[in-house]
């Protein structure tokens, strides 16, 4: 999860594939070759946006079910460089205030994660 200057980075999925046109925090499932979750996230940003990111601490996690399978979504704080992004897996991406973010059609698991971490983000800004 990238968060800077009071805004979160989110991207809208393509029309094809899982959860078409829904918004998400970019990332993905770890591959066998990924040594850890942070490396996985770095790889996903390179593949999906053509940028090298810096992955920080864990932001939060939430369990969820999808098609009868249980998962745990783990969010990490990510710093995205100011270079232009190449949208390879998304139709649009941008920076959104918490209010704007909650107005997007977020995937259910990402919405749950936002609702968990927003109080932490807002309390740290005081």
Q: What's the CA gap between 110 and 118, in Å, rounded?
A: 12
Tell me which residue range forms the domain holding 27: 3-125
Beta bridge partners of 3: 8
Q: Tell me the whole-structure pTM to 2 decimals.
A: 0.90
How far is residue 114 from each of residues 26, 34, 42, 97, measured CA to CA in Å?
13, 25, 21, 12
pLDDT in tens, 14-57: 998 888 999 999 988 889 999 999 999 999 999 999 999 999 99
> Both ends of the chain: CA-CA distance in Å?
20
Q: Report pLDDT for 18.
A: 83
pLDDT in tens, 93-126: 999 999 999 999 999 999 999 999 988 887 766 5
Q: Report pLDDT for 120.
A: 80
Number of domains comprising the chain: 1
The SS3 call for residue 102 is helix
CATH number of the domain residue 118 falls in: 3.90.79.10
């Amino acid at each position: 999860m990238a968060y800077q200057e009071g805004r979160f980075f989110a991207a809208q999925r393509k029309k094809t594939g899982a959860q078409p046109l829904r918004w998400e925090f970019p990332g993905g499932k770890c591959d066998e070759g990924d040594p850890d979750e942070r490396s996985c996230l770095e790889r996903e940003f390179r593949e999906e946006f053509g940028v090298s990111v810096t992955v920080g601490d864990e932001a939060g996690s939430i369990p969820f079910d999808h098609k009868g399978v249980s998962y745990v979504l783990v969010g990490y704080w990510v710093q995205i460089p100011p270079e232009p992004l190449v949208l390879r897996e998304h139709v649009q991406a941008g920076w959104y205030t918490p209010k704007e973010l909650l107005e997007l059609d977020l995937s259910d698991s990402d919405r749950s994660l936002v609702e968990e971490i927003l109080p932490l983000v807002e309390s740290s800004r005081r």
